[in-house]
Amino acid sequence: MDTDGIVIRIKTPVGDMDSPVDYPFLLNFNDLLVAIREVMPEATVTAFEYEDEVGDRITVRSDEELKAMLSYYCNTMTEQRINGLLPDPLQIFPRAGKTPGIRNIHGLKVNTRPSPANDCAQTVPNAAANNSLKKSSAELKRILSNGQINGQDIEYQEQLGHGNGGTVYKANHLSYKRVLAVKVIPLDITVELQKQIMSELEILYKCDSPYIITFFGAFFVENRISICTEFMDGGSLDVYKRIPEYVLGRIAVALALGMFPYPQIQKNQGSLMPLQLLQCIVDEDPPVLPVGQFSETFVHFVTQCMKRQPKERPAPNNLMEHPFIAQHNDGSAEVVSQWVSHSLEERRRLQV
């Protein structure tokens, strides 16, 4: 799909509203529906239409149908450019019904002539709709404009991993002589993955913490976005053996302490706002550690953390008092790094 910006023209009974969209591949059905409803607040809009090459109206009711519409429009836009023409805006026609309270029971006719350019009533919803469509693309543009990296600076070395969200490479930054991890994401992924990636990109961009990998920048190349971050030379955790308790204990301490980044809240003895759940709780019983393979304090710690009912689970400040946490809360980060180094050496010996 063409990654250039497009202009969407919403056709309404009181006139047309043009809204530029910088990154159409980030647009989803609900975003566009919200923009339409802000332009037509008195109507119930659940879908919209566009015209194909022969003038037939095609209805859009989902993200998949929106993607098909954008693909058709981008192909049309490319043909117009090849022929030396200025691409027309993508025209959409909202399918609206009157709300129950304002049905036209007297057969009154609506004036369909475009409103004057200085009509204040038309200006307000237009601005609101523009904000809805531009929000995600503006955030992405802000992140991209702050980066100091482009595709010409990157020399790819080896693939580190691959998943639904893209492929991660080890790479050299030629100008800065720095080793990076570059996550390359295709733009033809699902809408849910797009949202997940945008959330990840925004977190990396805004967070500045020694416990989070450094974000160096992001850039577009053709139909892919590349996210450049700090390269962790220890590699992926799944290449190591099972993490021993004395290492996992330090990690648990860090996780528990990480729940209190706001000292002013603790000072006022307030409570933290609940975090948005990252995954649904499954119906099955929580997993239990194998008997005899772990210490009694660790088994109890995990069991307490896996309690299904929130009232039964200990709060982070209570976890800090648990014997397992207290045993490993000695401030020694070297224990973890030494274990990683030792495991890497052992892995290299086995590969020889």
Q: What is the CATH number of the domain that holds 271?
A: 1.10.510.10
Q: Does any domain span residue 80? A: yes
| pLDDT-derived band at 273, boundaries 50, 70, 90 | very low
* Average of per-residue pLDDT across 155-176: 85
Three-state SS for 115?
Answer: coil
In a domain, 192, yes or no: yes
Pick from 39-43, 74-78, 96-100, 346-350 the range whose average pLDDT is largest. Answer: 74-78
75 vs 197, higher pLDDT: 75
Provide the sign of the torsion angle of the four alpha carbons 23, 24, 25, 28, taken in this order.
positive
Examine the pLDDT at 110 and tell me if it is beyond 70.
no
Is 214 part of a structural domain of the chain?
yes
At what angle are helices 120-145 and 191-206 packed, to 10 degrees?
A: 70
CB 115 within 8 A of CB 14: yes
Are 250 and 331 contained in the same domain?
A: yes
Residues 344, 320, single domain; the answer is: yes
- Has residue 144 been placed in a domain? no
Question: Which of 246, 221, 225 lies closest to 183, judged by CA?
Answer: 225
| End-to-end C-alpha distance for the chain, whole angstroms | 46
* Dihedral, CA of residue 201, residue 202, residue 203 and residue 208, to nearest 10: 100
Q: Are residues 246 and 338 in the same domain?
A: yes
What pairs with residue 9 in β-bridges? 18, 91
- 216 within domain boundaries: yes
pTM of the predicted model, to two decimals?
A: 0.42
Q: DSSP alpha helices (H): ranges in the chain?
A: 29-39, 63-82, 120-145, 191-206, 245-257, 263-267, 296-305, 316-319, 323-328, 334-351
Q: Does residue 129 share a domain with residue 79?
A: yes
What are the tokens at 91?
A: 């025209």
Instruction: Give me 95's structure tokens.
Output: 């399918």
Confidence of residue 264 (pLDDT cuts 50, 70, 90): very low
One-letter amino acid at 239 equals: V
Question: 112 vs 170, which has greater pLDDT?
Answer: 170
Question: Which residues contact residue 228 at a Cβ distance below 8 angstroms, ignoring those fewer than 6 apart?
Answer: 147, 149, 154, 171, 173, 180, 181, 182, 215, 216, 217, 218, 219
Q: What domain count does the chain have?
A: 3
The domain of 205 spans 151-230
* Cα(243)–Cα(145) distance, integer angstroms: 40
Q: At residue 132, does pLDDT exceed 80?
A: no
Residue written as tokens 């043909």? 79
Of the candidate ranges 13-22, 111-120, 142-151, the one whose mean pLDDT is the lowest = 111-120
Domain holding 119: CATH number?
Answer: 3.10.20.90
% of the chain beyond a pLDDT of 90: 5
- Distance separating alpha carbons of residues 330 and 335, to the nearest angstrom: 10
CATH classification at residue 219:
3.30.200.20
Q: In whole angstroms, what is the distance from residue 191 CA to residue 31 CA?
A: 12
The answer to whether residue 168 sits within a structural domain is: yes
Q: Are residues 225 and 289 in the same domain?
A: no
In a shared domain, residues 130 and 156: no
Mean pLDDT of the chain, nearest integer: 73
Query: Is 325 within the bounds of a domain?
Result: yes
Same domain, 191 and 157: yes
- Show the tokens assigned to 188: 């033809």
Q: Give how far the C-alpha of residue 277 lies from the chain's centroid of Cα atoms, to the nearest Å.
A: 15
Give the pLDDT score at 258: 58
Same-domain pairing of 162 and 211: yes
Say whether both 260 and 337 belong to one domain: yes
Q: Say whether both 285 and 221 belong to one domain.
A: no
Residue 102 covered by a domain:
no
Phi, psi of 289 (to 5 degrees): -65, 145
The answer to the question of whether 183 is labelled as a binding residue is yes
Average confidence (pLDDT) over 105-111: 37
Evaluate whether 49 touches 57 at the Cβ level (below 8 Å). Answer: yes
242 and 215 both lie in a single domain: no
Same domain? 77 vs 158: no
Q: Give Cα 296 to chain centroid, integer Å.
A: 39
User: What is the average per-residue pLDDT within 8-34?
Assistant: 83
Alpha carbon distance 6, 21 (integer Å): 5
Contacts 24+ apart (CB under 8 A), 220-225: 220/3, 220/144, 221/151, 222/3, 223/1, 223/3, 223/186, 223/187, 223/188, 224/184, 224/185, 224/186, 224/187, 225/184, 225/185, 225/187, 225/197
Rounded to an integer, what distance in angstroms lies between the CA atom of residue 87 and that of residue 74?
10
Last residue of a domain, one of 203, 230, 257: 230
Nearest Cα residue to 73 out of 101, 119, 32: 32
pLDDT of the residue at 170: 92
Angle at alpha carbon of residue 299, lines to 296 and 304, rounded to 5°: 125
